[in-house]
Structure 1
Amino acid sequence: MPEFTGFPTEALIFYDGLEADNSKAYWSDHRDQYEKAVRGPMTVLLAELEPEFGESHLFRPHRDVRFAKDKSPYKTAIGAYCTGGGYVQVSASGLMVASGYWQTAADQVERLRAAVADDVTGPKLESVVAGLRADGYEISGSRLKTRPRGHDADHPRIDLLRHRTLTVHREFGEPPWLAEPECAQQVAGAWRRMRVLRDWLDRHVGPTRLPQDRRR
């Protein structure tokens, strides 16, 4: 496996063009650019991160358009994750790194809200969120527009109680080190910093215990 040297400018140029012309013709004409500047570097990056962050998965470039109104055939970003780290993405906007729980079943949402409402674990999460925000990270996730059933609208952690999923991410854009080997250390450093939220979620929410047919 070759050493990771970063994502070249050609990677962002490729996605600039794909956003303007999301077609099979564009993809076919620029397939070599995608392989060399996008997929190749991401594959090597994941191999470098796996020893610390676990098994990796690279998402396919094709969109599932079966039930979508937007029939554009290709994703306008390359995304991947490591099971013990988080998500990493490169697009025309540059680099984005994330972690947390993107999907939750009903039992996980129930445990999440119980932990947020608890007077011990809830303030701990508040501290985690405040620390991440102070370091330039953004907290996001699927949320209710109103208060969840069974909780008062004036609860001190009502904003966190609205969450069905809870994630943290940082948009790095196109820093000079994106095209250098240092990019791997930056992704690893972000995942290490985000781990405090993932640890809280693993401890107080954990995986779903519902059978497969009841998880939605």
Structure 2
Amino acid sequence: MALWLLKKSLNFMAMIQKATLTFLEALKYHNNKPWFDAHRKEYEAAREDFAGFVDTLIAAFGKTEPSILHLKAKDCLFRINRDVRFSKNKEPYKSNFGAYINAEGKKSVKAGYYFHLEPGASFTGGGLWQPMSAELARVRQEIDYNLPEFEKILGAKKFKDTYGSLAVEEGQVLSRVPKGYEPDNPAATYLKYKSYTALANLPDTELVARSLLSTTVKAFQALQPMIAFLNRGIDA
């Protein structure tokens, strides 16, 4: 009986519950403190559901990436409150849950893995997003010195099948190569990037399916060589 309950519990945490998506959808349209306070129990249940999935994901992916096995969901989850001090958008809450899985914690400057839960806009993946200038300079140097290796990583079948290519975000690519590099540098295309991330969209139907865990683990595994390359550059 106990074993059956354990298996049921693991299956429960291996996907996202529909109620969690329902809460986030409602929050998007009722993004104010009175509504949030009135629905705090639903928020707590949704966050617990997401945290349970993240804990299960850490345990599953940790078999491939042992460096993260010491982490708990609380080390990875971001707050739902938005920092509105310098934003034109004054909505007090995010309408998503996010988890950054990195051996050094969610505040690490190194590349890591990310899961974004937002109805209609969920994705998994990771990399190095908007790094500080020192870390960015080291990564660019690593790419310049080891371009064939970097191109091989991005050209690997698992990576291409999962992500296609590096993510190209608005405002995250320079118009010219950075200072210190010649315009005709063979790595010029990649040297212009200000972020090095790869993202794979997750439809809502996948979020509530038992295959979500294996889908996410496989996506993270496809990203491992790139994460290792980026972090090697940062550590250099």
Which residue type is aligned with residue 148 of structure 1? P
Distance 2:54 2:139 in 1: 30
Match of 2:28 in 1: 19
Equivalent positions of 1:28-107 (< 5 A) are 28-36=37-45, 38-51=46-59, 52=62, 53-54=68-69, 55=71, 56-84=75-103, 86-107=113-134
Distance 1:88 1:133 in 2: 17
Measure how far apart 1:94 and its partner are.
Answer: 5.0
SS in 1 for 2:76: strand
Which string of whole-angstrom CA distances, capped at 9 and with x for unpartnered residues, describes residues 137-180 of structure 1?
Answer: 1523633232212323333322200123311121112234x224
Structure 2, unmatched stretches of 5+, are 1-5, 63-67, 104-111
Q: Name the structure, 1 or 2, with higher relative contact order (CA <8 Å, separation 6+).
A: 1
Measure how far apart 1:103 and its partner are.
Answer: 4.0
Distance 1:139 1:192 in 2: 16
Measure how far apart 1:74 and its partner are.
Answer: 0.2
TM-score by length of 2: 0.76
Identity among equivalent positions (%) equals: 24
Q: Cα–Cα, structure 1 residues 71 and 179, in superposed 2: closer, same or farther, change >3 Å?
A: same
Match of 2:161 in 1: 135
Among 6, 11, 15, the alignment partner of 2:15 is 6
Give yes or no for contact 1:63–1:74 (8 Å, CA) kept in 2.
Answer: yes
TM-score by length of 1: 0.82
Structure 1, unmatched stretches of 5+, are 208-216
Distance 1:11 1:134 in 2: 31
Match of 2:204 in 1: 174
Q: Give the number of aligned pairs.
A: 203
Which string of whole-angstrom CA distances, capped at 9 and with x for unpartnered residues, describes residues 68-109 of structure 1?
Answer: 221110011101122245111111225311221124233222
Distance 1:150 1:83 in 2: 31
Which string of whole-angstrom CA distances, capped at 9 and with x for unpartnered residues, describes residues 113-132 of structure 1?
Answer: 222222xx112112222336
Pairing 1:157–2:187 present: yes
Q: CA RMSD in A?
A: 2.4
